[in-house]
């Protein structure tokens, strides 16, 4: 098998890897915002339930969570859903990453000095204006480095989809490596992850620069 | 009468910070509040600006009742919309400035008049530049707060408060976060405002300033107003033992 045929057969896997990556980000980042608000709810019961959710998401392996999301409906309710494999992967990833993002957002929000809220209140801003005009822009600036970390981890975590026998790039690399007794597919996979993360770091650095105009 | 606070009581848990305080401020008056830390002077200001809610008493701005106390002794605030109306009467300058770091100097001053008071941008811009000229900061209009000294930041904060055209301006230890060299430039601005008959209430530790600028000095201790009156009287001839003791520490 030549290099180009290897690349060709891994290409589709790369697209699947990208699909997991982008869909997870699209769902988990806003979901994390909701989880953060629940975690900061004024109702104790809501806060406590959210804390348990976050503890489970962070305290158990993502691999195990993927299995639970996929096989859970069958073992718990006897349901077998056709075409559920890919949705289960996205649900698993999004729910897991939402917990991490929620904690990052929370850290960012709690780092904003109380004086910013008080100044906004005395100046007459309502709570929506205060959040979107005063608080959120400052939160985004402070959390960017942590978000970068999380996104880079996600690039590499996409390979966990192999748990549910989903043929993303790394699963294909393993199959080809086994059938061809070649290490080359792993080298290609490594380069792919490296380049992907290089792009992530580059983009995030540009965004950070954009917020560089103040301290 | 711009502000009337009657029988204000405020506790944090079991700690009674304000014990039946009354304060009236007339138009054009400059009132200084002095006293040791923990005496309740900052809390009084925070209650007047609704950053803290009082337990009982009443607060009236310009004949508009903002807080009343019924027969059960519990303070009742007016509705959200009415309270927003009352809030337009006052401004507050913080010890820590609390400028918005992501806004330029000009935007810090212009944003609330435009987006809260819904005034015209051109008009607000003109007024903001005038305020900056007054604060001697015209050249720094496009700077960000982090590029300014503490004294400059505090002057921007004063301009930001004035841009909303309040009837009364509160200062919560406006120079306490500044080193002595920068204190003067902020006090100069406040003095200038006093000459223009701006109604002000200043919580301060700057005794010479309080003596020179204010029409009335209030000495607070342990949640009470111990003594108040003409600055020359309070500083030159204090009647209460506690006042004498406090002022002695400042005459070194």
Question: For the CA atoms of chain A, what is the radius of gyration?
Answer: 21
Q: Are B160 and B107 in contact (CB under 8 A)?
A: no
3-state helix, strand, coil in chain A (%, to 5): 85, 0, 15
Domain extent, residue A90, equals: 3-214
Q: Which residue of B has its CA nearest to A140?
A: B102
Which residues on A lie below 8 Å from B91 (Cβ)? 122
pTM of the predicted model, to two decimals?
0.88
Query: B84 contacts in A (CB within 8 Å)?
Result: 124
Question: Can you give the pLDDT at residue A83?
Answer: 83
- Say if the ipTM goes beyond 0.90: yes
Cα–Cα dist B207/B203, whole Å: 11
| pLDDT per residue as tens digits for the range B6-56 | 999 999 999 999 999 999 999 999 999 999 988 999 999 999 999 999 999
Cα separation, A91 vs B6, in Å, equals 59
Number of domains within chain A: 1
Q: Which residues in chain A have Cβ-Cβ distances shorter than 8 Å to B128?
A: none
List CB contacts (< 8 A) between A141 and chain B. Answer: 102
Say whether residue A210 is in contact with chain B using an 8 A CB cutoff.
Answer: no
Domain CATH number, residue A9: 1.10.3720.10
Residue of A nearest to B110 (CA): A123
**How many separate helices (H) and strands (E) can be counted in chain A?**
9, 0
In the structure, what pLDDT confidence band is assigned to residue A79 with cuts at 50, 70 and 90? Answer: confident
- Reply yes or no on whether the pLDDT at B252 is more than 70: no
**Searching chain B, which residue's CA lies closest to the CA of residue A136?**
B102
- A128-162 CB burial, b ≥16 within 10 A, e <16: ebbeebbbbebbbbebbebbbebbbebbebbbbbb
Asked whether B234 and B243 are in contact (CB, 8 A), the reply is yes
Q: Residue B161 corresponds to which tokens in the numbers above?
A: 């408060």
* Residue A183 contacts B, CB cutoff 8 Å: no
Strands B216-221 and B30-34, bridge-based pairing: parallel
């Amino acid at each position: 098998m030549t290099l180009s045929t290897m690349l060709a057969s891994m290409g589709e896997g790369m697209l699947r890897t990208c699909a997991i990556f982008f869909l997870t980000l699209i769902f988990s980042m806003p979901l994390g915002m909701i989880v953060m608000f629940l975690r900061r709810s004024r109702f104790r019961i809501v806060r406590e339930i959210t804390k348990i959710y976050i503890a489970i998401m962070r305290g158990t392996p993502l691999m195990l969570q993927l299995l639970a999301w996929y096989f859970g409906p069958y073992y718990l309710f006897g349901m077998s859903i056709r075409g559920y494999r890919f949705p289960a992967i996205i649900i698993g990833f999004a729910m897991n990453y939402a917990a991490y993002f929620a904690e990052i957002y929370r850290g960012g929000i709690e780092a904003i000095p109380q004086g910013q809220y008080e100044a906004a209140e005395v100046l007459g801003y309502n709570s929506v204006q205060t959040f979107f005009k005063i608080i959120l822009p400052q939160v985004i600036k402070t959390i960017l480095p942590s978000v970068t970390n999380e996104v880079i981890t996600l690039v590499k975590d996409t390979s966990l989809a192999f748990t549910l026998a989903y043929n993303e790039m790394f699963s294909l690399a393993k199959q080809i490596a086994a059938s061809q007794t070649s290490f080359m597919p792993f080298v290609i996979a490594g380069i792919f992850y490296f380049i992907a993360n290089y792009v992530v770091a580059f983009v995030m650095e540009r965004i950070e620069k954009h917020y560089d105009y103040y301290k | 009468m711009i502000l009337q606070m009657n029988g204000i009581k405020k506790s944090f848990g079991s700690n009674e910070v304000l014990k039946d305080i009354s304060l009236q401020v007339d138009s054009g008056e400059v009132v200084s509040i002095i006293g040791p830390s923990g005496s309740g002077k900052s809390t009084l200001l925070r209650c007047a600006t609704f950053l803290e809610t009082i337990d009982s008493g009443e607060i009236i701005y310009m004949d508009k009742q903002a807080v009343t106390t019924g027969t059960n002794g519990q303070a009742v605030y007016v509705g959200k919309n009415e309270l927003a109306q009352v809030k337009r009467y006052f401004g507050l300058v913080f010890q820590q400035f609390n400028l918005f770091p992501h806004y330029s100097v000009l935007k810090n001053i212009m944003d609330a008049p435009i987006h809260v008071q819904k005034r015209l941008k051109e008009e607000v811009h003109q007024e903001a530049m005038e305020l900056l000229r007054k604060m001697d900061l015209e050249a720094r209009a496009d700077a960000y707060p982090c590029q300014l000294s503490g004294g400059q930041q505090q002057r921007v904060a004063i301009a930001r408060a004035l841009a909303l055209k309040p009837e009364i301006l509160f200062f919560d230890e406006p120079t306490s976060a500044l080193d002595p060299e920068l204190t003067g430039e902020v006090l100069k601005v406040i003095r200038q405002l006093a000459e223009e008959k701006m109604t002000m209430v200043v919580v301060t530790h700057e005794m010479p300033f309080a003596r020179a600028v204010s029409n009335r000095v209030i000495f607070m201790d342990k949640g009470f107003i111990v003594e108040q009156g003409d600055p020359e009287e309070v500083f030159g001839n204090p009647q209460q033992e506690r006042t004498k003791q406090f002022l002695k520490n400042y005459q070194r």
